[in-house]
Amino acid sequence: MKINIRPAVMDDAYQIKNLINEHARKGKMLPVSINQVFENLRNFFVLTDDKGKILGCGALKIIWKDLGEIRSVAIKNSKQKKGLGTQLVEKLLEEAKKIGIKRVFVLTYVPEFFEKFGFIRTEKTKLPHKIWFDCINCPKFPRCDEIPLIKKL
């Protein structure tokens, strides 16, 4: 099967929301609304099969001049453990380098996956821009149980 990674388009929004929320229901990530997907659609990349069906998604959000966040990485359950998540994260890291981001972080419930890419665990206090722009509006704030990791590019 040929895999394609491309920027998301408007027609992908509901599939992205459904894929992320499928994982959120299992406690693997935070849920998103369709409004959040539309607002951040330009940050998303999707993995598609040779028929154009979405198999996974992930986003790269610019947080500050030298800081980006990889978020909402989700692969269809039936397609996990086949290297698709790895391809997607590699693409997001490549995009971060391309636009000049020097550090990328994630907040995750599966830190081991990101440690394979050289991310190291850090303290949330080292991510003040994230806390004041996004986390403060999260229903889990200030009791966030996601694990922060960061990588220098």
Residue 22 sits in a domain whose CATH number is 3.40.630.30
Q: Maximum distance among all alpha carbons in the chain?
A: 44
* Rama region for 124: left / alpha / beta (φ>0; ψ in -120 to 50; rest): alpha
Host domain of residue 21: 4-152
Average pLDDT over residues 30-39: 94
Query: Is residue 68 within 8 Å of 101, Cβ to Cβ?
Result: yes
Assign 127 a pLDDT band (cuts: 50, 70, 90). Answer: confident
How many folded domains does the chain comprise? 1
Q: How far apart are CA 89 and CA 58, in angstroms?
A: 8
Cα–Cα distances (Å) from 105 to 22, 92, 111, 147, in that order, read 23, 11, 11, 10
pLDDT, mean over the chain: 89
At 30 the pLDDT is 84
At 153 the pLDDT is 95
Q: How far apart are CA 153 and CA 94, in angstroms?
A: 9
Q: Indicate the helix (H) or strand (E) that contains 79.
A: none
Average pLDDT over residues 54-64: 95
Say which range, 9-13, 31-35, 56-60, 144-148, has the weakest mean pLDDT. 144-148
Q: How far apart are CA 71 and CA 69, in angstroms?
A: 6
Q: With pLDDT > 90 as the criterion, what percentage of the chain qualifies?
A: 69
At 14 the pLDDT is 97
Confidence check: pLDDT of 115 > 80? yes
At 144 the pLDDT is 63
Looking at per-residue confidence, does 117 or 30 come out higher?
Answer: 117
